[in-house]
Structure 1
Amino acid sequence: MNKKSVFNKTVLAASIAMLSACGGSSSQTSGSGTTVGVVTGFGSVYVNGVEYETDSASIDIDGLESIETSLGIGDVVILKGSVNADGVTGNATSISCTDELEGYVLDLSGLVDGVGTINIMGQSVTINIDTVFDSDTLASISELSVDDIVEVSGFADGIGSILATRIETKNDTDEDLDVELKGLISNLDTTALTFTIGDLTVDYSEALEVDAGLADGVLVEVKTQSAISGNITDGFLMSASKVEIEDDGDIDFDGDEGEDIEMQGMVSGITDTSFLFNGQLVEFDSLEIDDDFDMASLVDGMIITVEGHIAADGSFVVEEIEEDHDSDFEVEGFVTDKTDTTVTISQGDSTLTFTVNNDTRMIDEQDEGSSTPLHFFSLADVAIDEFVEIKYYVDETSEENIATELEREDAPSPEPVLN
């Protein structure tokens, strides 16, 4: 592809600041740069189709020094490093991760068969087939209840909508539990000491810490030590214990001239003349996209990956835009064959073969007998006759089944034989 456009630097800035960091193959050229995207595997760290070695990388989660095993599949990270000439391996120098929000589930009426929208802390969180769900107590996202506490990673527009790439349940005995969310202030009332983020009204009249300079449009993180009150009809209210301005309240990114940037993001708010990329306005007439990228193909909720570099004037020159692939199908079965890059499973009297690549989310949930799930899990760990669940799409050109997620599970119990 040869696609070029110029985004104002604030678009890049907003995208990185508003991404929940804590999903698309890469065509990033070799050299140092910044990558923002979803973690798909470990053993190194796989992000945006590249396997990054992490031996010399610093890792922080929520601003605190951490380790690689504290990251999870589906987390969105900001990774600095370099990509080798092969385009699929590289070296990370730093990885940072922070959740988009952590708090109470307030409404589940929009969730049907594990997909749809749920209200978490007054934010509309979209759950799709590709959302990774992790819980020590619940078997699936359909078992969530109102007032459960969850941590959400994903792509946000800053004004109340989030596409979740990972949801993890928490409990109120967790030492690191911190009920919080980030977003742009609206409807600020300096007399009543309230403002809104999404559908949540924040009352900061009794907050122990409040940064100076609050104003509509300012990016903040708010925390509470109390349960959220209200309901879906009348709205929800948070009594804030702390209001902190994030990133000086604006959405800047101090990229250096010539720095390569690659990021994933969510498309929304499409009109005849523009769309939003992670909540930031992109005008069609500012783009110089050639004919092999069809802007008419954009739909709300689509995830795209953009690549480019920082120009001398501070603008972000986009050299490529491509659509990331969502999962279209989901199957499960016993492994009958595999190679270094494919796995074949049984489907009744037939079999299906899937291509597994660096973009495939690799998840191990096998814990029967003496087994424990592997954090550093890859296709090499999958054995013949093991049971797996695979999400995939069919490549339009090659007609291959491309696995977007491979999850190894305990084999189902055989059905009882009736006499």
Structure 2
Amino acid sequence: MRRRGRSALRGLLAGCLLAVTAVTAGACGGERPETLVVLGPWTGPEGEAFEAMLHRLDDGTGQRYAYEGTRSLRETLVAQLEADAPPDVAILNSIGELTEYARANRLQPLDDGAAAAAARAYPPWAPALDLDGARHTYWVPLKVDLKSLVWSDEGRSAASPDWCVGLASQATSGWPGTDWIEDILLHRSGPGAYARWATGRLSWRDPRVRAAWTTWAQLLGKRSQASVDQSLTTSYVGTPDPAKPGGEPRGLLGSLSPRCTHEHQSAFIRYVYADRKVRVDPSAGFLPGPTAHDGAYEVAGDMAAVFSEDPRARELVERLSGGTARSLWRAEAAPELRPLFPAATDPQPTDPTGRRIAKILTEQARTLCFDASDVMPPGLRDAFHRAVLQYFKDPAGARLDTLLKELDTVREQTAPGAGQAGPPESGVCAPPGG
């Protein structure tokens, strides 16, 4: 009964997403297989490029795929799981969230081909998990985004930057601030302390963690109440640009009042500045303190996992992680939207900014560490987002010690040894070559 209800609901979703496709063999009298549904984080031009790749991926088999893109990914997936109608494949950026789903038996272990693709990617972000006495790989990275970057207009001096800050992001507001704190901790205290903190093995009240918060406040400097309010309500991609088709975002550089000069943001933001001459530099050069960890970089990833019992879903994940899918994805995407793929041997972006970022990723980085908040259990990650927003509103009066104590309470409820099986500490940072 569970399977029939789930299939019917998923079939309805696929029919809405891809009306021209027969969802089941009997729907229009044809012999086409049921459409597989993929849920992912990309919308707009990003989503269109990924969807176009999916439609070209059938290789003459007649298999059909429908893509649902949403910026509220966790909320959408939770609702579908509660309705017992999950997608066949979901693409998530949170290792902590994926680990929870695997522990709850929501994920299907991958076949050998997809597991091998995971092993070829930049380690270690598809670790084999020991669950119920068995060891399996449950997800595979499809693309990566290099963080630990600072953006500015070409020719702009790096001295005394005025930082652009936009913290609004629908249901996950605050993450541009957590990126800052993570990056500061990584560069000042090193990958070891970073990995212990990300996996719940280091207290939030540790002096190194506390110093990352206060350093962020010092870097941003004194801000007026109007500036604070603007940052709290401005999207991380800036406001719509009336000069661009469809009101595409203009980015934060030069668009906030008073005008800001530098932005701390992940590699994905390059599509916003595609028609603007920008400079991108490693963030380590802008952070105070020791420089021993300049070769460490934070990265984010988008991982595909199977929520369906249909074996074709596992086959799809294997194909998505292969060379054909990546070539098609690059062909369908505009130059500034071509992904950074999770292995140095994969084709990389061709636009100037993309090439610069790829060079940092493949030639300059000595250690890559996964986004710490995406390693954390969802409950702790969300508490981190909220605490950053409170601290940003008033760093002097936000009772930082109280915020860190509250985060420690959440950590203790989800830390290894509290009945949880989170990602291993060794699954956070590693050299790019393994």
Same fold (TM over 0.5): no
Question: With CA pairs under 8 Å and 6+ residues apart, which has the higher RCO, 1 or 2?
Answer: 2
- Could you say which structure has the higher helix fraction? 2
Question: Normalising by the residue count of structure 2, what TM-score does the alignment of the two structures yield?
Answer: 0.27
Normalized per residue, the structure richer in strand is 1
Q: TM-score, normalised by structure 1?
A: 0.27
